[in-house]
Structure 1
Amino acid sequence: MYLIRTFVSLTTLSLSTLVIADSNLALQYKDLQPLHEIAKNVSAQNIEKDITTLVNFGTRHTLSETQSDTRGIGAARRWIKAEFDKISASCGGCLEVYYQQQSISGERRIPDATDVVSVIAIQRGTTDPDRYVIMSGDIDSRVSDVMNATSDSPGANDNASGVAGTLEAARVLSQYQFNGSIVYAALAGEEQGLFGGKIMAEQAQKDGWRIKAVLNNDMIGNIEGINGVINNTTARIFAEGTRQTETAEEARIRRFTGGEVDSPSRNLARYIDLMADRYIPNLDTMVIYRLDRFGRGGHHRPFNDLGYPGVRIMETNENYHRQHQDLRTENGIVYGDTLEGVNFDYAAKLTALNAVSLAGMAWAPTPPAKVTIKGAVQPSTTLSWAAADKTQNPQLAGYKIYWRYTDAPQWQFSRFVGDVTSFTLENVVIDNYFFGVASVSKDGFESPVVFPGAAGAFGE
């Protein structure tokens, strides 16, 4: 275990001094060497090799060949499973690897009965195995005609890059043990209607999975935008606001208490944004307050539809000449999603961001549950929450309260309050800030911040 030995006495400081001191403490408390090691261990060479292999299957269209060993979606998914099996063998069988499938028919993009087959690998947590964080990429590719299942469709960036990143994250993180479970998912049927994500999300709900985060990686390798910008230092995190599953009564309460910008998906995105600042050199992430790109979608959406926290991680500068295009050259413009359009070092950088975020959450205690707040017409603010199960979370050191100005994008102030279930911030007026609570481990790993009430809950 990694012990952080720097502490500040909380009893001898004024609140203003305490906030400053705790901000300094947070920098030491969260700059955790294991996360630096994880980021450093991600290999651009492995990602290049995996993307190249996936491209060489010719097409990975959902309706493409399934019997060939060298071409089509069947060959691709069998290779992905074999790679997960190799990773598991190297860590003594630490991954549970399996196909997840369902026959789909009668859909606009899947008219005839077709098996939509994803590849799932689970790295079970040691103390809280039923708590999950998920990284996903989608297997399938397409050209201009979404129903064309025979033409070459390399899908190098969209989305061999996301699958390769998921495989590489599994290689790196499988060398560690975590309290919570990590799932690596290569999902199928994305281009035909997000079917792999729907199948997985619905099965997870049926099986009672306590999903705390879904990190969907869809196009993480392109740095040359259609707008002429070339930039390998930024990435986007798309995160929806109000939960899709919000009830009318929850909406009524939110109107008076806030929470529009503090859904669990938004606070998951803030968590990943901080991980980028602390552990990924030369990467600045943009948290986009939207489910996905304008009018478009990805495999995190089926999880959001069921109320699970989920975000899309991707490049900042898209090149539409390289997306969903027949391979061709017209008027001097080269179209098609080929290897030439992928920057492997950049894909490794975004993979490392996923890996440190997954590790941080899986090592941390579960996010606080049943967080409530009160302080109307009072000079102080009180937050309360349910105590975490100590059997599932033996690493728990206590909780940290966060707050920020209501127009601030990121949490600004914090105070570690110990292993308690309620705390009052004296002379901090509830009307002037947004508040939240995070769980903290003995080694300094923190959960995402949980906003009070149903609007911010990460589930029980």
Structure 2
Amino acid sequence: MKAFSFTLSVGAMLLATASAQAASDNIDYQDQAQLHDIAAAVSADHIERDIRKLVGFGTRHTLSETESDTRGIGAARRWIKAEFEQISADCGGCLEVFYVSDTISGEPRIPNATEVVSVVAIQRGQTDPERYVLMSGDIDSRVSDVMDFTSDAPGANDNASGVAGTLEAARVLSQYKFNGSIVYAALAGEEQGLFGGKILAAKAQQDNWRLKAVLNNDMIGNIEGINGVIDNTTVRVFAEGTRVTETADEARKRRFTGGEVDSPSRNLARYIDWMADRYVANLDAMVIYRLDRFGRGGHHRPFNDLGYPGVRIMETNENYNRQHQDLRTENGINYGDTIDGVNFDYAAKLTALNAVTLASMAWAPNPPANVDIKGAVSADTTLSWDIGNGNSDDVAGYKVYWRATDAPNWQHSRFVGNVNQYTLKNIVIDNYFFGVASVSKEGFESPVVYPGAAGSFGQ
């Protein structure tokens, strides 16, 4: 009996030592004054002005008028392009502004040949211009009948709010210079089948963009839910788990090493959550472990389909009376996506969240590549990674993260210097999830990268 008690005590002591060591390594993050400035610079007045302008085009249905200067999707996209060009002029030509398009036909919602045209602006990075982060909103709108392209479809919240937020983020961030490139995209054809996203994602793949984040903003202005909740303090971030592009060999390995909740999209979502906690007052991000709302989709999906990290950012409480509805009043209920359903301060708050996330990632070094982990049947865990990817001159070093396997967010970290391998002594690989982030000399961090193909952000 004494021997049994002694064995148990030693085991408890070892567990206590490892736990104490883990507990001593809390997250040590360097606050960034510039990110506070960026969040504060986002203007609700600018967002309101832009939403009102977009609503004023009457309808922005993908199949609507393209020749008029005042009505239809053609007028809307020309105005958006002109706005990006004005933003570029104000920053000395810092944006490359262009259309991205393709002709779609023979589809259930686009039966006849239709040119689907999105507007894109790129702010080139200074030291690692082939690394990209992207923010998008959807140009098009609709009413109850998805094929009705003549009725008024204001689309104030869905999704003039996302386009206005993207324009405002460009206005604010164009006043800074970044290491990586930032893409601002107003995507068309979302309601007809996510075609704008498909076209731009294909371009990113064809042009070999090292695309590290897609922030799809789809409805960021409503605070009054159909459930009766009024809430301007939370935001949903939808993030898929395992990549759809995972191979059979990768799936087999993941079964034994984990990674189901640590896809790059999930760790991008955790990064956004951190930005909300640190830089956007009175805003809590609700990370949802799902591609999108139940059984539904958005314009990040075409990027996810090609393996890029992407999330949907949107309001927490939706009002279905204001989505995909003909303008009407029935039984005392007003239906339709009109301007009175948008809270501009809330839209500005979510735009600020996008802006600080884009800025932080664009200032940070490239996420570590080829992260690997070893430690089976050992008291220690060793992580390794490639060193010198992207803007390596600005890399101060790397930070190792770990958390309990049932914890939603990273709990512990340790800065380990500018090395390509580190061993965590007496921290058992079986008991935690692990990852690595790159850290710049200014203290900007990349998202955390989980070891193996399951968590990779690519090269």
Q: TM-score, normalised by structure 1?
A: 0.95
1:150-180 Cα distance to aligned partner (Å, 9 max, x none):
0000000000000000000000000000000
Equivalent residue runs for 1:398-409 within 5 Å:
398-409=397-408
- Counterpart of 1:216 in structure 2 is 216
Q: Give the C-alpha shift of residue 327 in structure 1.
A: 0.1
Aligned to 2:453, what secondary structure does the other structure show?
Answer: coil
Q: Is contact 2:134–2:185 with CA below 8 Å preserved after alignment? A: yes
Q: Is contact 2:123–2:181 with CA below 8 Å preserved after alignment? A: yes
- Counterpart of 2:26 in structure 1 is 23
- Counterpart of 1:292 in structure 2 is 292
Q: Give the C-alpha shift of residue 388 in structure 1.
A: 2.1
Equivalent residue runs for 1:205-284 within 5 Å:
205-284=205-284
- Are residues 1:42 and 2:67 paired? no
The CA distance in 2 between the partners of 1:22 and 1:90, in whole Å, is 45
The CA distance in 1 between the partners of 2:80 and 2:357, in whole Å, is 23
Q: Is contact 2:182–2:362 with CA below 8 Å preserved after alignment? A: yes
The CA distance in 2 between the partners of 1:323 and 1:359, in whole Å, is 31
1:130-158 Cα distance to aligned partner (Å, 9 max, x none):
00000000000000000000000000000
Aligned to 2:334, what secondary structure does the other structure show?
Answer: strand
- Counterpart of 1:438 in structure 2 is 437
Task: Report how many residues are paired.
Answer: 443
- Are residues 1:451 and 2:450 paired? yes
- Counterpart of 1:61 in structure 2 is 61
Q: Is contact 2:265–2:309 with CA below 8 Å preserved after alignment? A: yes
The CA distance in 2 between the partners of 1:23 and 1:410, in whole Å, is 12
Q: Give the C-alpha shift of residue 224 in structure 1.
A: 0.3
Q: Give the C-alpha shift of residue 389 in structure 1.
A: 3.2
Q: Is contact 1:81–1:98 with CA below 8 Å preserved after alignment? A: yes
- Counterpart of 1:314 in structure 2 is 314
**Which structure has the larger Rg?**
2
Q: Is contact 1:235–1:286 with CA below 8 Å preserved after alignment? A: yes
Equivalent residue runs for 1:308-347 within 5 Å:
308-347=308-347
Aligned to 1:23, what secondary structure does the other structure show?
Answer: coil
Q: Is contact 1:121–1:185 with CA below 8 Å preserved after alignment? A: yes
Q: Is contact 2:405–2:432 with CA below 8 Å preserved after alignment? A: yes
Aligned to 1:366, what secondary structure does the other structure show?
Answer: coil
- Counterpart of 1:82 in structure 2 is 82
> Alignment identity in percent?
78
Aligned to 2:118, what secondary structure does the other structure show?
Answer: strand
Q: Is there any run of 5+ residues in structure 1 with no aligned partner, and where?
A: 1-13
Q: Give the C-alpha shift of residue 363 in structure 1.
A: 0.1
Runs of 4+ in structure 1 over 2 Å off: 14-24
The CA distance in 2 between the partners of 1:356 and 1:15, in whole Å, is 36
- Are residues 1:422 and 2:421 paired? yes
Q: Is contact 2:321–2:335 with CA below 8 Å preserved after alignment? A: yes
- Are residues 1:396 and 2:395 paired? yes
Rate the CA distance shift 1:384–1:187 in 2: closer, same or farther, 3 A.
same
- The residue type paired with residue 417 of structure 1 is V
Aligned to 2:166, what secondary structure does the other structure show?
Answer: helix
- Counterpart of 2:170 in structure 1 is 170
Q: Give the C-alpha shift of residue 20 in structure 1.
A: 5.7
Aligned to 2:454, what secondary structure does the other structure show?
Answer: coil
Aligned to 2:196, what secondary structure does the other structure show?
Answer: helix
- Are residues 1:143 and 2:143 paired? yes
Q: TM-score, normalised by structure 2?
A: 0.95
- The residue type paired with residue 160 of structure 1 is A
Q: Is contact 1:136–1:215 with CA below 8 Å preserved after alignment? A: yes
1:324-349 Cα distance to aligned partner (Å, 9 max, x none):
00000000110000000000000000
- Are residues 1:161 and 2:161 paired? yes
1:331-370 Cα distance to aligned partner (Å, 9 max, x none):
0110000000000000000000000000000000000000
The CA distance in 2 between the partners of 1:420 and 1:254, in whole Å, is 26
The CA distance in 1 between the partners of 2:129 and 2:258, in whole Å, is 33
The CA distance in 1 between the partners of 2:25 and 2:38, in whole Å, is 26
Q: Give the C-alpha shift of residue 21 in structure 1.
A: 6.1
The CA distance in 2 between the partners of 1:198 and 1:393, in whole Å, is 32
1:286-319 Cα distance to aligned partner (Å, 9 max, x none):
0000000001000000000000000000000000
The CA distance in 2 between the partners of 1:172 and 1:21, in whole Å, is 38
- The residue type paired with residue 87 of structure 1 is I
Q: Give the C-alpha shift of residue 23 in structure 1.
A: 2.8
Q: Is there any run of 5+ residues in structure 2 with no aligned partner, and where?
A: 1-16
Aligned to 1:321, what secondary structure does the other structure show?
Answer: helix
- The residue type paired with residue 98 of structure 2 is Y
Aligned to 2:250, what secondary structure does the other structure show?
Answer: helix
The CA distance in 1 between the partners of 2:25 and 2:162, in whole Å, is 37
The CA distance in 2 between the partners of 1:273 and 1:389, in whole Å, is 25
The CA distance in 2 between the partners of 1:70 and 1:299, in whole Å, is 26
Q: Is contact 2:159–2:219 with CA below 8 Å preserved after alignment? A: yes
Q: Is contact 1:130–1:181 with CA below 8 Å preserved after alignment? A: yes
Q: Is contact 1:127–1:393 with CA below 8 Å preserved after alignment? A: no
1:199-227 Cα distance to aligned partner (Å, 9 max, x none):
00011101100000000000000000000
Q: Give the C-alpha shift of residue 394 in structure 1.
A: 1.8
The CA distance in 2 between the partners of 1:301 and 1:362, in whole Å, is 22
1:93-132 Cα distance to aligned partner (Å, 9 max, x none):
0000000010000000000000000000000000000000
Q: Give the C-alpha shift of residue 17 in structure 1.
A: 7.4
The CA distance in 1 between the partners of 2:314 and 2:392, in whole Å, is 32
1:36-94 Cα distance to aligned partner (Å, 9 max, x none):
00000000000000000000000000000000000000000000000000000000000
- The residue type paired with residue 449 of structure 2 is V
Q: Give the C-alpha shift of residue 22 in structure 1.
A: 4.9
Aligned to 1:222, what secondary structure does the other structure show?
Answer: coil
1:355-401 Cα distance to aligned partner (Å, 9 max, x none):
000000000000000000000000000000001236x3321100000
- Counterpart of 1:362 in structure 2 is 362
The CA distance in 1 between the partners of 2:255 and 2:120, in whole Å, is 39
